[in-house]
Amino acid sequence: MKSAADEPSFPKRDSWPEVVDPQVRAAFAAVPRAAFVAAELRNHAADDAPLPIGQGQTISQPYVVALMVQALALQSGEKVLEIGTGSGYETAILSTLTAVAGRPPGHNIYAVERLPRLAQQAEAALHALGYAPHLRIGDGAAGWPEEAPFSAMIVSAAAAHVPHPLWVQLAEGGRMVLPVGADVENQEIWLLRKQAGAMQIKRLGGVRFVPLISPLLDDPGNWAEG
């Protein structure tokens, strides 16, 4: 009988020509996506498509995750904040890319999920594979202020505006990648860089993500301006 780790991983041969970073490609090939989906969906784990994970949420299309992660240009040991842990699959990719010899992979990853059931499932899947990120149940738009600053951030839900608390928690010279757009039909990925406190924006293309839900975003005072 195959285990989750035996299932096909990404990327497949000759796929994802835009994903040129060999470390990113190696991380996606090493992390078993099947370990982060329900047993009845594992036959579809190698599909380059989103899959349901419960609570009205999905595990994102691997290709989109790869583009977002590649844009961060992560280095070993960097402190990373992830908003929207979901299944934990992306958390495992981040943990793999920033691993440090002699430390458990994920020791420098801080992940926030608002739905307790998903957070518990993600934690179990990650620990079963030997990953040890820091996980928190809470409001993603608020970030993790007591652990700031972060060298890199990735947000896996879309908002009409960049959350100001996250921008404040990004280190000088840091990078943040997130989907932006209130209308699901008009979302795009932004790569933000903090240079001398100013926001530099690079647009990476259109996407479709679930919304970032937070009462903080109802207040324009919590919107960061580009």
Beta strand pairing status for 187-195 and 170-180?
antiparallel
What is the distance between the alpha carbons of residues 135 and 111, in angstroms, rounded to a whole number?
5
Two tokens, residue 118: 């998903």
pLDDT score recorded for residue 2: 35
> Is residue 98's pLDDT more than 60?
yes
Q: Of these residues, 9, 60, 95, 151, which one is catalytic?
A: 60
CB 83 within 8 A of CB 154: yes
Active site residue 76: no
pLDDT score recorded for residue 226: 62
Taking residues 160-180, report their average pLDDT. 97
The mean pLDDT value of the chain amounts to: 93
Greater confidence (194 vs 210) lies with: 194
Taking residues 88-93, report their average pLDDT. 98
